[in-house]
Amino acid sequence: MSIDRHAALAPYAARADASRGRLHPEEPSSSRNAFQRDRDRIVHSSAFRRLEYKTQVFVNHEGDLFRTRLTHSLEVAQIARSIARNLRLNEDLVEAISLAHDLGHTPFGHAGQDALDDCMKPHGGFEHNLQSLRVVDVLEERYGAFDGLNLCFETREGILKHCSVEHAKQLGEVGLRFIERKQPSLEAQLANLADEIAYNNHDIDDGLRSGLLTIEQMMTIDLFRRHALVVKSLYPDIPQRRMILETVRRMINELIVDVTETSRAQIAAANPASLAEVREAGRLIGFSDGIHAEAVALKRFLRKELYYHYRVQRMAAKAKRIVRELFGAFDGNPDLLPAEHSARLRVLGARAIADYVAGMTDRYAIREHVRLFAIEG
């Protein structure tokens, strides 16, 4: 069997040996295909290690059992790979995209991203998804021959989930599909949906664990209630914590089965003979209409009851203040930055501050804020 495992791949799957290649041409590896190599570069990057200390919903120091960006990314990869194998898509590519998809996230989750975007408004804004691409294309510094990780086109296109036409025009080939309104690979479509499956479910688990959500509230959500009732009838005396986990496990399974079956049918109907034909087709990876409606209802619920819970919002307000004040302190003051970042600030202006702040972990940002603003620190 070749390292690309061609025999197992469907004709519509992305193939490593047919990749559009890297920005800087490299000799192929003798032991790994190009997408495996991308995945390995991502896992060895410093941005990947920093995901361990970045907020998903709960700030990292709030509890050891909550998801972080790292465990979230691992769950996305697991879900995406399961579905990929069932659809005979390229598991190596979907894994690489999943592990890299959040590399550009700021500290403190969406609160951090919103604050940094506000600070960067006069300088073209800040968008975590574009930043993920910037991390792998430019910011990682570990190879002699090039900046960034020099990943394959297909991995980079998967990382760039969404993008305005304006930004797309500045990105060259990888942005072209947003201008031409074409689809990315099925692996990219799948990683995107696996992200949604992962966070909807783990946010229920974390929300209940934190006490910000209650079982009574969750029972108003069809997707949860359906499985919770089955679990209770199968195991009447089950302790609540196990009931929740058993319910969430069943929800994830139902979503995975639904995506697999719906996508399989949609792929069969469109019948793409190659990745090129996938790009011309409509979106082929998705939920059935019924599950889609339930997933939308769940998302709306989580937004209202968890992400906008006053305790989450208090932390978010604090986080925004930290990001805003860090940015403000550095803006126009290169002398306050560590040498490598002050040198970049002199060349790149505000973008260098955004790169520095976005790269911080939660606790690094908090410490840096103390170092800059506390009289005694």
Q: What is the DSSP string of 73-106?
A: HHHHHHHHHHHHHHTT--HHHHHHHHHHTTTTPP
Tell me how far, at minimum, the Cβ of 162 lies from Mg ion, in Å. Answer: 12
Helices and strands: H and E segment counts in the chain: 19, 0
Rounded Cα distance, 355 and 353, in Å: 5
Q: Which is nearer to Mg ion, 13 or 51 (CB)?
A: 51
Tell me how far, at minimum, the Cβ of 9 lies from Mg ion, in Å. Answer: 26
Q: Decide: is 102 part of the binding site for Mg ion (CB under 5 A).
A: yes
Q: Which is nearer to Mg ion, 157 or 246 (CB)?
A: 157
Q: What are phi and psi of 55, to 5 degrees?
A: -65, 140
Q: Which of residues 149-208 bind Mg ion (CB under 5 A)?
A: 195
Fill in the DSSP letter of residue 28.
P
Tell me how far, at minimum, the Cβ of 154 lies from Mg ion, in Å. Answer: 19
| Residue 208, C-beta contacts closer than 8 angstroms, at least 6 positions apart | 214, 215, 218, 244
Decide if 84 contacts 90 (C-beta within 8 A).
yes
Which CA distances in Å does 321 have to 112, 301, 309?
9, 27, 18
Rounded Cα distance, 29 and 49, in Å: 24
Tell me how far, at minimum, the Cβ of 251 lies from Mg ion, in Å. Answer: 18
Tell me how far, at minimum, the Cβ of 327 lies from Mg ion, in Å. Answer: 23
Tell me how far, at minimum, the Cβ of 215 lies from Mg ion, in Å. Answer: 26
Q: Which is nearer to Mg ion, 39 or 369 (CB)?
A: 39
Rounded Cα distance, 4 and 23, in Å: 21
Tell me how far, at minimum, the Cβ of 101 lies from Mg ion, in Å. Answer: 6
Q: Which part of the chain contacts Mg ion (CB under 5 A), choosing from 11-19, 45-53, 100-108, 330-338?
A: 100-108
Q: Which is nearer to Mg ion, 92 or 102 (CB)?
A: 102
Percentage helix, strand, coil for the chain under 3-state DSSP, each rounded to 5: 70, 0, 30
Q: Which part of the chain contacts Mg ion (CB under 5 A), choosing from 94-102, 150-158, 307-315, 357-365?
A: 94-102
Q: Within 10 Å of residue 30's Cβ, how many Cβ atoms?
A: 6
Q: Which part of the chain contacts Mg ion (CB under 5 A), choosing from 6-14, 101-109, 152-160, 175-183?
A: 101-109
Q: Which is nearer to Mg ion, 151 or 193 (CB)?
A: 193
Q: Which is nearer to Mg ion, 19 or 106 (CB)?
A: 106
Number of residues in contact with Mg ion, rule: CB under 5 A? 2
| Residue 114, C-beta contacts closer than 8 angstroms, at least 6 positions apart | 320
Nearest to 227 by CA among 216, 213, 241, 243: 243
Q: Which is nearer to Mg ion, 36 or 56 (CB)?
A: 56
Q: Which is nearer to Mg ion, 102 or 140 (CB)?
A: 102
Tell me how far, at minimum, the Cβ of 177 lies from Mg ion, in Å. Answer: 20
**Which residues face 22 on adjacent strands?**
152
Q: Which is nearer to Mg ion, 195 or 258 (CB)?
A: 195
Q: Which part of the chain contacts Mg ion (CB under 5 A), choosing from 11-19, 96-104, 285-293, 337-345?
A: 96-104
- CB-side exposure of 306: number of CA atoms within 13 Å? 26
Tell me how far, at minimum, the Cβ of 93 lies from Mg ion, in Å. Answer: 17
User: What does the radius of gyration of the chain's CA atoms come to, in whole angstroms?
Assistant: 22
Q: Which is nearer to Mg ion, 194 or 218 (CB)?
A: 194
**Which residues face 152 on adjacent strands?**
22
Q: What spatial distance separates the first Cα and last Cα of the chain, rounded to whole Å?
A: 59
The residue assigned the tokens 């193939």 is 15
The SS3 assignment for 229 reads helix
Tell me how far, at minimum, the Cβ of 348 lies from Mg ion, in Å. Answer: 27
Q: Which part of the chain contacts Mg ion (CB under 5 A), choosing from 30-38, 41-49, 99-107, 224-232?
A: 99-107
Give the residues lining the site for Mg ion (CB under 5 A): 102, 195
